[in-house]
């Protein structure tokens, strides 16, 4: 289960890397691929927030019952909610930018904040909480988590890439060669 989460983190990081390339284009006065940016933001809004975070929240809740790193776990759980809001705001801001209602500087600031927050969040989970979960959670805990959290296929990196994300997947794979 932790391996699945780590693989998903890798996928999220790969999409964040591609978004950062678009962000850098914007900062350098080049025209970013706005369609690509939209696909990345929608992907992060739809898959990690609907499939990845609920799984983590279940793990974090069990760890909270055992009183391990309570404050950090509570912060990460609330961070999932905060990141949903940040992602939604970024999506709305990108649409406003496309319509000419937001400046490049404003969009660049929002993108920078988004990228930093996402990466910090992933780092804390991987360095602090996943090792703790590996050490603390029992086989019975993992079975309970498995039975409650539905298994869903990643629309970009899963067995069958959804049509909406085909271009995004090809772009990510092309940048990793």
How confident is the model at residue 45, as a pLDDT?
Answer: 87
When pLDDT is cut at 50, 70 and 90, the band that residue 29 belongs to is very high
Are 19 and 172 a contacting pair, CB within 8 Å?
no
Rounded Cα–Cα distance for residues 122 and 118 (Å):
6
The residue whose two tokens read 């997947």 is 169
pLDDT tens track for 119-144: 999 999 999 999 999 999 999 999 98
Q: What is the pLDDT of residue 155?
A: 65
- Predicted confidence at residue 52, as pLDDT, reads 86
Which two structure tokens, joined as six digits, stand for 39?
A: 């696909």
Distance CA 55, CA 100 (A): 38
Per-residue pLDDT tens over the stretch 83-109: 999 999 999 999 999 999 999 999 999
pTM value is 0.83
DSSP 104: H
Is the pLDDT reported for residue 24 higher than 90?
Answer: yes
Rounded to whole angstroms, what are the CA distances from 66 to 118, 139, 141, 173? 27, 15, 12, 40
Tokens of 139: 């086989």
In the numeric block, the tokens 């988004």 are attached to 114
Q: Which domains does the chain have, with CATH numbers?
A: 2-175 (1.20.120.520)
Tokens, residue 130: 């996943």
- Does the structure show a pLDDT above 60 at 172? yes
Q: What is the mean pLDDT of the chain?
A: 87
- Cα Rg of the chain, angstroms: 17
Residue 121: which H helix or E strand, with range?
helix 104-124
């Amino acid at each position: 289960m932790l391996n699945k989460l780590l693989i998903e983190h890798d996928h999220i990081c790969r999409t964040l890397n591609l978004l950062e390339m678009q962000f850098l284009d914007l900062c350098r006065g080049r025209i970013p691929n706005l369609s690509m940016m939209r696909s990345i933001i929608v992907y992060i809004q739809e898959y990690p927030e609907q499939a990845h975070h609920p799984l983590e929240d279940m793990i974090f809740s069990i760890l909270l019952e055992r009183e391990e790193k309570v404050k950090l776990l509570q912060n990460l759980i609330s961070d999932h909610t905060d990141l949903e809001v940040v992602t939604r705001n970024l999506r709305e801001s990108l649409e406003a930018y496309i319509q000419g209602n937001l400046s490049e500087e404003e969009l660049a600031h929002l993108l920078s904040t988004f990228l930093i927050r996402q990466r910090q969040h992933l780092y804390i989970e991987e360095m602090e909480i996943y090792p703790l979960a590996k050490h603390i959670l029992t086989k019975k805990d993992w079975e309970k988590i498995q039975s409650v959290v539905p298994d869903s296929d990643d629309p970009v990196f899963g067995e069958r890439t959804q049509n909406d994300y085909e271009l995004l997947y090809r772009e990510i794979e092309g940048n990793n060669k």
